[in-house]
Chains A and B, each alone.
Chain A
Amino acid sequence: MTAVAEPRARPRPSTFTRIRGWLRNPWGKPRFLVVFTWAYIAWSIVPVLIAVQFSFNATRSRTIWDSFSTRWYWGDPVDSVWHDPTLRHALVQSFKLAGADVLIAVPLGVLLALGLARWHGRGSGVSNFIMLFPLVTPEIVMGVSLLLVFTQLFTFIHTGTFAQILGHVTFSISFVVVIVRARLFSIGRQYEEAAADLGASPFVALTRVLLPLLTPAIVASAAVVFAISADDFVISQWLSKGGETDTVPIQIYAATRAAPLPSVNAIATIMMVSTLLIVTAGFLTWRVFTRGERRAGKAAEDFGGAFNLT
């Protein structure tokens, strides 16, 4: 018997109570959303990872894993990407179109973005509308119209690589404009006006001040154009003249409707890795160039914010 009452130990809460408390914590993050988001990300990416995995399968199966092998990349003397001329040509054609697309669409798009952002006179609204329309036009509509215009109106341009390049540039310009324009808005007119105050002509203000500031957006849009050109299926197919102007997506499409070999997984992987490397390079360039300006740790969002079209 003691004179001092011992402090009563608080009963440890049950597991159920603890979990419920964790779930209901008003200051904590919403748990459901966390789980849901990560589940979505997994659902979104894991199938592609599995497809990449099977491109290294030793057997012909795309569903049953055997063992690791680079057979479909260069090993198999007939069907590997390296040895099968159809697949090789598709890869080359895809890169050709994407490269040409970047070289043409980016300058046109940058000029157009500058023009539309600063132009407030008559015709600017219509031009803006014309620029936005390709972004929402279904590709089959664009494919049909381009095919018909090349075969009925501009008949000196036959279907083939040149027509495909023209088609790719047509839908790529709008992407460049959207990205560059977003960057223009965030820069504002301050730098140009400062340059003008200091006596620079508009031309100098443009080339020495504005364009360097725009470089990250230009690089980013080049990466984006490369990616969407490499990804394009409908326009490339409709303007193709047959085997030698087929691109990688066309080959994948043809193969998915049959029962393809893992070599098509391989070619898709090669294309994907190339695109990702280029996009990463573009993104890193964006990061480097906007070092001074961005809010801490949010370069990715600025990049993503360019996609807000409204």
Chain B
Amino acid sequence: MMHHPKERPGSLSRRGFLLRSAGAAAALSGAGGLLAACGNSTSVPQATGTGGELVGPGGLPLARPDKRVTLPLWEDPIESGLEPETGGTFTVYNYPAYFYKKLLKEFGAKYDVEVQYTPFDNINSGLARLASGAVQPDVMEITPDTLDIGVAGKLIKPLNLDYIPNLQKNIWPQLVDPFYDGGSQYTVPYTCYATGIAWRTDKITEDIAGMEQPWDIFWESQAYKGKVALLSENRETIGMALLRKGITDINTEDATLVNQAVSDLKELYGVCNIKVDDIQYQSVPEGSSWLHQAWSGDMIAGYIYYLPKGTPASALGYWKAEHGKVPVQNDCFAICSTTKKPVLSHIFLNYLLDNGVAYENFVDFNGYQPPLNEIDPESLVKDGVVPEHLANSVLTDADLGTDSLQYGTLTSKGQQLWEDGYSNFLAGGS
């Protein structure tokens, strides 16, 4: 997930696949079976799975682009044909400033509810607070890799797609029935993005897109010392080092590979005094950063909001790898089990998938594109939303597929491995 360009990022508002925070304790009995051993263990207890395969939280199978998962239904969805509830409040639980308030107000006016917007710092702390009862939202944002937690913890409700016709109508076919949530039983997609490289074309002389392995530019950036940065995120940084070496399994739990990737990353200290942050949408247009790992929406947002006067749009450059070598992700929306307005919640999900609403949310506020069929690079360039040379920042349905790459849930051990590797990188030692 990422945060809106206008949001002020801090160390807490980080996009993260596996961000956890010490939120409320989960009194979930999914934890049953873990032993408080009088012991010496540093393993996070592993939920057990069937048949010895790798499983994620709650024993749910790990979804991958080439391994579809249909999640179990822990309750039945609501019946079709019910009338939406009106009156009272309707709470949207999301990252700060990630949904256009004007559109929320319009929804509220149409259905006679007061729409409130409750932010969370990251999905995991949000889920933890939901589990503890500190908040009772109606709908919330969620990502495919935290979806397991929501389902295992019974925090999100199954959907009745009869209320959400826009899903079939407007959304890319591959996300109507995604691999991580077969049949869209719990989620609808919200925004999508890929990870690539953003740079200042007027400061970097190399032709990054033309390089044999563009990720190598980071290791050859001595001339730009102090102006080079990576995303402050354990999956993205280590994943990038893996991709650079041609390893496409970005969900690997092989310690050798991960540790080698971390060693590679550590070389960057000496090369360019590498920094880590998540403000590329602002720092690259403003020139305080010249070379930055970035998500595909960042340069669009940078172009729309942050380009200072006097800096031409052509100064922004973006590259992402070809299909099968580029990580493509998407956010979703789901209905919380604490909702008192389940029908209205379904209608809200339908509302955010409406062509006009999603487009306005994207162009006038968000900067990160929704997976709408009617959006493609040519139409956005024509509308002046995206300059021509940044057309590769726009994704299409063709970017997804069983051979595409996506950061997915890992087992507990895998997550520990990646987190510890990132801690090693962040420690700045030899």
Indicate whether A and B are direct neighbours in the complex (CB within 8 Å): yes
Is the Cβ of B10 less than 8 Å from the Cβ of A242?
no
Q: How far is the CA of A253 from the CA of B279 in the complex (A)?
A: 13
Residues of A within 8 Å of B, CB-based: how many? 25
Is A260 in the interface zone, CB < 8 Å from B? yes
Residues of B within 8 A of A60 (CB): 308
Is the Cβ of B25 less than 8 Å from the Cβ of A253?
no
Q: How far is the CA of A258 from the CA of B11 in the complex (A)?
A: 11
Interface size class of B (residues with CB under 8 A): 20 to 34
Contact (A258, B132) CB under 8 Å given A60-B308, A151-B22: no
Is the Cβ of B8 less than 8 Å from the Cβ of A241?
no
Is B9 in the interface zone, CB < 8 Å from A? yes
Is B157 in the interface zone, CB < 8 Å from A? no
User: Interface 1/0s, chain B 84-128, versus A by CB < 8 A?
Assistant: 000000000000110000000000000000000011110000000
Closest approach, in angstroms, between the C-beta of A236 and any C-beta of chain B?
A: 11
Residues of A within 8 A of B308 (CB): 60
Is the Cβ of A254 less than 8 Å from the Cβ of B13?
yes
Is the Cβ of B8 less than 8 Å from the Cβ of A259?
no
* Segment 218-277 of A: residues with Cβ below 8 Å from B: 237, 240-244, 250-251, 253-255, 257-260
Is B286 in the interface zone, CB < 8 Å from A? yes
In the complex, residue of chain A having the shortest beta-carbon distance to the beta carbon of B308: A60
Is the Cβ of B279 less than 8 Å from the Cβ of A259?
yes
Q: How far is the CA of A155 from the CA of B85 in the complex (A)?
A: 32
Residues of A within 8 A of B24 (CB): 151, 155, 158
Q: How far is the CA of A155 from the CA of B128 in the complex (A)?
A: 12
- Set B23, B118, B119, B279: member contacting A258, Cβ < 8 A: B279
* Segment 141-163 of A: residues with Cβ below 8 Å from B: 147-148, 151-152, 155, 158-160
Is the Cβ of A254 less than 8 Å from the Cβ of B96?
no
* Segment 272-306 of B: residues with Cβ below 8 Å from A: 277, 279, 282-283, 286, 288
Is the Cβ of A242 less than 8 Å from the Cβ of B96?
yes
Residues of A within 8 A of B10 (CB): 237, 250, 253-254, 257
Is the Cβ of A158 less than 8 Å from the Cβ of B134?
yes
Is A53 in the interface zone, CB < 8 Å from B? no
Closest approach, in angstroms, between the C-beta of B239 and any C-beta of chain A?
A: 23
- Set B25, B119, B279, B282: member contacting A155, Cβ < 8 A: B25
- Set B22, B118, B277, B279: member contacting A242, Cβ < 8 A: B118
Is the Cβ of B23 less than 8 Å from the Cβ of A151?
yes
In the complex, residue of chain B having the shortest beta-carbon distance to the beta carbon of A264: B8
Closest approach, in angstroms, between the C-beta of A289 and any C-beta of chain B?
A: 42
Is B341 in the interface zone, CB < 8 Å from A? no
Is B346 in the interface zone, CB < 8 Å from A? no
Is B266 in the interface zone, CB < 8 Å from A? no
Residues of A within 8 A of B134 (CB): 158-160, 241
Is A170 in the interface zone, CB < 8 Å from B? no
- Set B8, B25, B132, B286: member contacting A251, Cβ < 8 A: B8
Residues of B within 8 A of A260 (CB): 8
Residues of B within 8 A of A243 (CB): 96-97, 119
- Set A160, A237, A259: member contacting B12, Cβ < 8 A: A237
Is B320 in the interface zone, CB < 8 Å from A? no
User: Interface 1/0s, chain A 6-44, versus B by CB < 8 A?
Assistant: 000000000000000000000000000000000000000
Is the Cβ of A155 less than 8 Å from the Cβ of B120?
no
Is the Cβ of A258 less than 8 Å from the Cβ of B8?
yes
Contact (A151, B25) CB under 8 Å given A241-B134, A258-B279: yes
Closest approach, in angstroms, between the C-beta of A184 and any C-beta of chain B?
A: 40
Q: How far is the CA of A158 from the CA of B10 in the complex (A)?
A: 21
Residues of A within 8 A of B132 (CB): 151, 155, 158
Is A86 in the interface zone, CB < 8 Å from B? yes
Is B129 in the interface zone, CB < 8 Å from A? yes
Contact (A254, B25) CB under 8 Å given A158-B129, A243-B96: no
Contact (A147, B283) CB under 8 Å given A244-B119, A257-B9: no
Is the Cβ of A86 less than 8 Å from the Cβ of B8?
yes
Closest approach, in angstroms, between the C-beta of A290 and any C-beta of chain B?
A: 43
Residues of A within 8 A of B23 (CB): 151, 159
User: Interface 1/0s, chain B 172-196, versus A by CB < 8 A?
Assistant: 0000000000000000000000000
Q: How far is the CA of A151 from the CA of B8 in the complex (A)?
A: 26
Q: How far is the CA of A210 from the CA of B118 in the complex (A)?
A: 49
Residues of B within 8 A of A244 (CB): 119
- Set A152, A160, A237, A242: member contacting B25, Cβ < 8 A: A152
Q: How far is the CA of A151 from the CA of B20 in the complex (A)?
A: 14
Residues of B within 8 A of A257 (CB): 9-11, 277, 279
Is the Cβ of A255 less than 8 Å from the Cβ of B8?
yes
* Segment 278-309 of A: residues with Cβ below 8 Å from B: none
Residues of A within 8 A of B9 (CB): 254, 257-258
Residues of A within 8 A of B277 (CB): 257
In the complex, residue of chain A having the shortest beta-carbon distance to the beta carbon of B13: A254
Contact (A258, B283) CB under 8 Å given A151-B23, A158-B129, A158-B134: yes
Given contacts A258-B282, A259-B282, 6 further A-B contacts (CB under 8 A): A86-B96, A151-B25, A241-B134, A242-B118, A253-B11, A259-B283
Q: Which residues of B contact A (CB under 8 A)?
A: 8-13, 22-25, 96-97, 118-121, 129, 132, 134, 277, 279, 282-283, 286, 288, 308
Selected A-B contacts with CB under 8 Å, 30 pairs: A86-B96, A86-B97, A148-B22, A151-B23, A151-B24, A151-B25, A151-B132, A152-B25, A155-B24, A155-B25, A158-B24, A158-B134, A160-B134, A241-B129, A241-B134, A242-B120, A242-B121, A244-B119, A250-B10, A254-B9, A254-B13, A257-B9, A257-B11, A258-B279, A258-B282, A259-B279, A259-B282, A259-B283, A259-B288, A260-B8
Q: Which residues of A contact B (CB under 8 A)?
A: 60, 86, 147-148, 151-152, 155, 158-160, 237, 240-244, 250-251, 253-255, 257-260
